[in-house]
Amino acid sequence: EGTPAIEVGKVGVLGAGLMGAGIAAAASEAGVPVRLKDATTDALGRGMKYARGVWEERLKRRSLTRLEVERRLDRLSPSLDYSGLRRADLVVEAVFEDLELKRRVLGEAEAATRDECVYATNTSSIPIGEVAAGCRRPGQVLGMHFFSPVHKMPLLEVVVTKATAAPALATAVRFGRRLGKHVIVVRDGPGF
C-alpha cells in the first residue's frame, strides 16, 4: 500500500492457449488494449475464438450486448511477433510449463519492451526466480498465477522473488484488482 504503481494502459500477453487467451480476455474486459502474441496463426485463431466464446456465452445470457462483445474484441490485437509491445506497461507470459522456453521468451520480451515494463510469468510449478535467472531486469519480474478458467476463477497469486521491486509488485496487485480478482501476494517457493 502506498507504493507508486504504473497505471497499466496496454498489456502484452505471450501465449494464446487457454490461459493466455483467458488473461487477454480478462484484460480486454477491464477496458485495456491487449497485444496477444503466439508463434502460429492457428494458435492465435484458437485464442481469439476462445476469448470470443467467453463473451458470446454472456451474450446468450443477456449480460452483454452484441456491441459490448465487439468492443471487447476490438481491444484484442493478435500478433506473430513482438511488435506493439514497446508501449506495453505489463507483459504476462503464459507459455508451456518449460523453464528454458520461459527464459527464452523473457529474454525476447525484455528486448522488445521498455525498461519500466513489468514482466509477469503465469506458472503454477516453476519458481519465478529460476525463470528470471540471467535476465536484464530482475526487479521487473514476478509471477501472476491465474487459475483456470480465468474468467470464472477469482483468485490471483502475485508471486514475488527476492529481487522483485516494490513498484512492480504494486503494479501487478493494482492490475489484478482492476481485473476484479482477489489478489494475494506470496513468496517464491514450491507451491507458492
Tell me the average pLDDT of the chain. Answer: 96
Instruction: Pick the catalytic residue from 29, 93, 110, 157.
Output: 157
Amino acid 1: pLDDT: 76
Looking from the CA of 149 toward its CB, the CA atoms found within 13 Å total: 10
- Mean pLDDT over 128-139 rounds to 96
Determine the 3-state secondary structure of 147 from DSSP. coil
Which has the closest alpha carbon to 14: 105, 148, 137?
105
**What backbone torsions phi and psi does residue 59 show, to the nearest 5 degrees?**
-65, -40
* Cα 48 from Cα 28, distance rounded (Å): 12
157 is catalytic: yes
Amino acid 124: pLDDT: 87
On whether the CB atoms of residues 38 and 16 are closer than 8 A, the answer is: yes
* Cα 73 from Cα 22, distance rounded (Å): 13
On whether the CB atoms of residues 32 and 75 are closer than 8 A, the answer is: yes
User: Would you place residue 2 in the very low, low, confident or very high pLDDT band (cuts 50, 70, 90)?
Assistant: confident
Decide if pLDDT at 190 tops 90: no
Quick: pLDDT tens for 85-109.
999 999 999 999 999 999 999 999 9
Decide if pLDDT at 172 tops 90: yes
Amino acid (1-letter code) at residue 85: L
- Mean pLDDT over 108-125 rounds to 96
* % of the chain residues with pLDDT over 90: 95
11: Cβ contacts below 8 Å, ≥ 6 apart: 24, 27, 32, 33, 34, 35, 88, 89, 90, 91, 92, 175
User: Would you place residue 192 in the very low, low, confident or very high pLDDT band (cuts 50, 70, 90)?
Assistant: low
* Cα 92 from Cα 13, distance rounded (Å): 5
Beta pairing partners, 90: 11, 118
**DSSP state for residue 140 in the 8-state scheme:** G
* % of the chain residues with pLDDT over 70: 99
Does the model's pTM come out above 0.85? yes
Quick: pLDDT tens for 9-30.
999 999 999 999 999 999 999 9
* Cα 147 from Cα 157, distance rounded (Å): 9
Instruction: Please provide the size of the chain in residues.
Output: 192
On whether the CB atoms of residues 99 and 19 are closer than 8 A, the answer is: no
